[in-house]
Amino acid sequence: MAQEDVFKKLVSHCKEYGFVFPSSEIYDGLGAVYDYGQMGVELKNNIKKYWWDSMVLLNDNVVGIDSAIFMHPTIWKASGHVDAFNDPLIDNRDSKKRYRADVLIEDFLAKIDDKINKEVEKAHKKFGESFDEAQFRATNARVVEYQANRDTVHTRFAKALNDGNLEDLREIIVDCEIVCPISGTRNWTEVRQFNLMFATEMGSTADGALKVYLRPETAQGIFVNFLNVQKTGRMKIPFGIAQIGKAFRNEIVARQFIFRMREFEQMEMQFFVRPGEELEWFKQWKATRMRWHKALGFGDHKYRFHDHDKLAHYANAATDIEFEMPFGFKEVEGIHSRTDFDLSSHEKFSGKKVQYFDPELNKSYTPYVIETSIGVDRMFLSVMSASYQEETLEGGETRVVLNLPPALAPIKLAILPLLKKDGLPEKAREIMDELKFEFKCQYDEKDSIGKRYRRQDAIGTPFCVTVDHQTLEDGQVTIRHRDTMQQERVAIGELKEIISTKVSLKALLKSL
Ligand code: ATP
């Protein structure tokens, strides 16, 4: 099945099974805003817990906070967001569609990469074992030509971004003959900057209302609380502050479902270190964060680092962790070495000293910062897209199953009485009343057992337990495993142990 179709199916699956709904749907929706349904919220909470515990529980030098969404507007001056939180936009005059100029060029570069990779794959197949990829890339005329073209465009692109040169960006689009995917034409407007922050007013207008912003990232709430936390928590450098919360960006191009939203959620951790040690910590956090992703078991080949060509004005190193979504490798998390930019800037704008006294060095300084910043929604999308499977079973029957990591599954256990009579529902309820304190369970007595299994497969429930007449006699139930569909008889008293070893977050955290 084409990846595009897989993605469409995934989006409708998310809706059909209560994971994600378009916001305000009965009013025809609101662009790039989504609601999480009864299954989605459980999965999302589990993802957040996995992240939070990996930060705050496993590291005694990382603590959490929950800062307000509204903040003093000068914070966004100090952070650079008022002046520089812009995306370069370009319109196609024929389709009237708006695009991010940088994204059009990045997509163009990705297409060249695809062409090169296809050539390499073809040659690999042809030459088999004896294939020397490095030599092929260096000598194959077609690949060399593609690569030279890519390098030229890439160098121009990086320079245009670094110089903030909008005209050059437009020229690259024109020179590369990039067309609008809707109209197919090259009738482009100029490139303009567009600020992504939402603004609103606080207080009544009669008193002179204050213009405030909906935060575009959670990080600044951490920076402005740096001293509060350091002093009250008696934190010693190196230490980190973690936060999970909503962020808002008026994205120009908001397509691809929950990949790019206007209201989304971030999980950010700022790690404060001694100046000069930041690149060593950057390396460490890169490795730690990649381990966190890979521990979910979707396959290491689905992840890669993408080092930034254009460093933000505050950064001296930056990388993205990209995940292979149905629409290609895309950023899920950013790891940035932000220098002392934010704390120094807040010191300057607030007029308050924001420094740390290091008792070992016996001096004060402005700490440097390593940031790890991951979008909950993008993480959700990556988990869903890696887990969604359509399987053909023996006998030609098909099933849709979400192979979710058990620790993240919204429902851990479904309890199913074989029949709706003979005391079976009562027995099933009794088991549920015992186990609901351990795991999120679901009781289901409607339809045939086969249909009920399918419903649970579709929401990724790792275990189904069936209560039948025999259960009333011998206290045993049938437990069915989602992935293998194998069934076994076990005593009711064993359920807790069997299930918890598989679904506990602890095991996942221990594997880190
Ligand atoms: P992009 O280049 O895709 O716009 P970004 O580099 O601006 O992303 P950051 O500012 O580094 O993103 O934000 C950190 C993380 O927050 C991202 O890796 C992503 O997971 C998430 N994120 C950012 N913007 C959005 C959005 N509009 N919708 C959903 N998640 C987002």
**247 alpha carbon – ligand 1 mean position (Å):** 10
322 lines ligand 1 (CB under 6 A): no
pLDDT of 218 higher than 70: yes
Angle between helices 101-127 and 141-163 (to 10 degrees): 160
Protein residue with least CA distance to atom 1, ligand 1: 331
356 vs 309: CA distance, rounded Å? 32
pLDDT digits (tens, 9 = 90+) for 140-149: 999 999 999 9
Residue 422 is encoded by which pair of tokens?
Answer: 């003979």
Average pLDDT (20-39) is 96
Lowest average pLDDT, out of 14-18, 77-81, 162-166, 170-174, goes to 162-166
The pLDDT value recorded for residue 209 is 82
Using DSSP, state whether 200 is helix, strand or coil.
Answer: strand
Residue nearest to atom 24 of ligand 1 (CA): 260
% pLDDT > 70, the chain: 99
Going by CA atoms, what residue is nearest to atom 23 of ligand 1?
375
pLDDT tens, residue by residue, 346-383: 999 999 999 999 999 999 999 999 999 999 999 999 99
Ligand 1 close to Cβ of residue 374 (< 6 A): yes
- Whose Cα sits closest to atom 14 in ligand 1? 373
Contacts (Cβ under 8 Å, ≥6 apart) of 219: 268, 270, 342, 371, 373
* pLDDT score of 303 more than 80: yes
Whether residue 333 has its Cβ less than 6 Å from ligand 1: yes
Cis omega (within 30 of 0) for bond into 238: yes
Residue 260 alpha carbon to ligand 1 centre in Å: 7
CA 377 – ligand 1 centroid, Å? 10
Whole-number Å distance, alpha carbon 20 to ligand 1 midpoint, is: 19
The pLDDT-based confidence of 314 (bands split at 50, 70, 90) is confident
Which atom of ligand 1 is found nearest the CA of 262?
A: 27
CATH of 1-69+200-392, one of 3.30.70.20, 3.40.449.10, 1.20.1070.10, 3.30.930.10: 3.30.930.10
Ligand 1 lined by 331 (C-beta under 6 Å): yes
- Does the pLDDT value for residue 8 go beyond 80? yes
* Local structure of residue 201 (DSSP, 8 states): E
Question: What pLDDT is recorded for position 434?
Answer: 96
Confidence of residue 192 (pLDDT cuts 50, 70, 90): very high
- Tokens coding 352: 């308050």
pLDDT digits (tens, 9 = 90+) for 66-91: 999 999 999 999 999 998 898 899 99
Mean pLDDT, rounded, of the chain: 95
Is the pLDDT score of 309 beyond 80? no
Distance between CA atoms of residues 217 and 334, nearest Å: 12
Instruction: Output the pLDDT for position 206.
Output: 65
Position 23 pLDDT exceeds 90: yes
Q: How far is the CA of 503 from the centre of ligand 1 (A)?
A: 30
Judged against a pLDDT cut of 80, whether residue 495 lies above it is answered with yes
Please compute the mean of the pLDDT values over residues 422-429 and round it to a whole number. Answer: 97
User: Domain 397-510, CATH 3.40.50.800 — does that match?
Assistant: yes
Query: How wide is the angle at C-alpha 92 spanned by C-alphas 89 and 94, nearest 5°?
Result: 160
User: Which strands form 98-100's sheet, in the order they lie side by side?
Assistant: 98-100, 86-91, 192-195
Residue 254 pLDDT greater than 80, yes or no: no
First to last CA, the chain: 34
Q: What gap in Å lies between CA 392 and CA 404, rounded to an integer?
A: 18
Q: What is the mean pLDDT of residues 304-333?
A: 92
Determine the average pLDDT of the residues in 47-70: 98
Ligand 1 centre from 375 Cα, in Å? 6
Q: Does the beta carbon of 334 lie inside 6 Å of ligand 1?
A: yes
Residue 184, number of CB atoms within 10 A of its CB? 10
pLDDT of residue 286: 98
* pLDDT band of 163, cuts 50, 70, 90: confident
Check whether 207 has a pLDDT greater than 80: no
Q: Mean pLDDT across the stretch 159-177?
A: 93
Q: Is 315 in the pocket of ligand 1 (CB under 6 A)?
A: no
Mean pLDDT of 298-318: 90
Kindly indicate the confidence band of residue 432, based on its pLDDT and cuts at 50, 70 and 90: very high
Q: Which of 379, 381, 254, 328 is nearest to 3 (CA)?
A: 328
Q: 395-430: b or e for each residue (b if 16 or more CB lie within 10 Å)?
A: eeeeebbbbbbbbbbbbbbbbbbbeeeeebbebbee
**Nearest C-alpha to atom 11 of ligand 1 is from which residue?**
334
Sequence ranges of the domains in the chain? 1-69+200-392, 86-195, 397-510
pLDDT digits (tens, 9 = 90+) for 99-124: 999 999 999 999 999 999 999 999 99
471-433-482 Cα angle (round to 5): 65
Amino acid at 267: M
260 lines ligand 1 (CB under 6 A): yes
Whether this prediction's pTM lies above 0.85 is answered by: yes
Give the residue-averaged pLDDT of 5-26: 96
Q: Residue 487: its pLDDT value, please? A: 97
pLDDT of amino acid 129: 86
- Cβ–ligand 1 contact at 375 (below 6 Å): yes
Determine the average pLDDT of the residues in 412-416.
Answer: 98
List helix spans (H) across 256-350: 278-294, 341-350
> Does ligand 1 come within 6 angstroms of the Cβ of 263?
no
Q: How far is the CA of 322 from the centre of ligand 1 (A)?
A: 11
pLDDT score at 205: 64
Average pLDDT over residues 253-279: 94
Question: If you measure from the C-alpha of residue 250 to the centroid of ligand 1, how many angstroms do you get, rounded to a whole number?
Answer: 12
In terms of phi and psi (left: phi > 0; alpha: psi -120 to 50; beta: otherwise), the region of 184 is left
Q: Which CATH class is domain 86-195?
A: alpha beta
CA dihedral 163→255→249→285, nearest 10 degrees, is -70
**pLDDT band with cut points at 50, 70 and 90 for residue 416:** very high
> Is residue 2 pLDDT above 80, yes or no?
no
Query: Which residue has its alpha carbon closest to ligand 1 atom 4?
Result: 260
Instruction: Please determine, for residue 162, whether its predicted confidence score (pLDDT) is greater than 90.
Output: no
Amino acid at 433: D
Distance from residue 266's CA to the centre of ligand 1 (Å):
8
Give mean pLDDT, residues 91-99.
93
